[in-house]
Structure 1
Amino acid sequence: MHVWDLAAAHLAAIDRFDSLLTESEPSMAINLGTGSGTTVRELCAAFNQVVDTPLTTVDAEPRPGDVAGGYTKSDRAQKLLGWTPAFSLTEGIRSSLDWIPVRDELLKD
């Protein structure tokens, strides 16, 4: 998920904080995500759409303990926060790669 989508969800939660929580329910979990999973192959393909030099991948058997998959059930975020992700996986990868060359300069003490 793109970092700006995560930030937008947190701002929506702050805006609606007082209307969401009550004395009987002082906290709640709200999953954030796209609602659909991303396989390793899909992630590599999205990465390869963004970079000049594509990744070379090698298929291998699952490792012990690997899960078959995972995804978020994000309908609560949409219903309570009015939030859905706006950015694609490819846009998130592109933004992450764009951040790398400027990160150290922007975050120096």
Structure 2
Amino acid sequence: MHVWDLAAAHVAAIERFDSVVTAPRRSIAINLGTGSGTTVRELCAAFNNVVSTPLTTVETDRRPGDVAGGYTKSDRAAELLGWTPKLSLEDGIRSALDWMPVRDELLKD
């Protein structure tokens, strides 16, 4: 999930806090995510769609302990916060790659 989508969800939570968290509840858990998993193949394909030099990949067997998959169920975020992610996996990869060359300069003391 793109960091800007995550930030937008947090803003929505702050804006709607008083209508979402009502007595006697003091808090509520809300999962954030796209609602669908991403395979390693899909991640590599998305990366290759963004970069000019594609990754070289090697197909291999699963490692012991690898899970079959995982994803979020973020229906509650849509219902309570009016939030759904807007940006794609490719958008997230592009933003991460754009951030890398300027990160150290912007975060220095």
The question of 1:80 aligning with 2:87 is answered no
Could you tell me which residue of structure 2 aligns to residue 44 of structure 1? Answer: 44
Aligned partners of 1:22, 1:83: CA distance in 2, in Å? 19
Matched letter for residue 29 of structure 2: A
Matched letter for residue 33 of structure 1: G
Deviation at 1:22, TM superposition (A): 2.5
Please list the CA deviations of residues 19-63 of structure 1 after superposition, one character each: whole Å capped at 9, or x if unmatched: 111232111111111111110000000000111111111111111
Using structure 1 for the length normalisation, give the TM-score.
Answer: 0.96
Matched residue of 2:78: which SS?
helix
Aligned partners of 1:42, 1:9: CA distance in 2, in Å? 25
Aligned partners of 2:25, 2:59: CA distance in 1, in Å? 47
Deviation at 1:99, TM superposition (A): 0.2
The question of 1:58 aligning with 2:37 is answered no
Could you tell me which residue of structure 2 aligns to residue 102 of structure 1? Answer: 102
* Percentage of identical aligned residues: 79
Aligned partners of 2:25, 2:56: CA distance in 1, in Å? 49
Structure 2: unaligned runs, 5 residues or longer: none
Matched letter for residue 45 of structure 1: A
Could you tell me which residue of structure 2 aligns to residue 23 of structure 1? Answer: 23
The question of 1:35 aligning with 2:35 is answered yes
Q: Cα RMSD over matched residues?
A: 0.8
Matched letter for residue 48 of structure 1: N
Structure 1: unaligned runs, 5 residues or longer: none
Aligned partners of 1:34, 1:78: CA distance in 2, in Å? 11
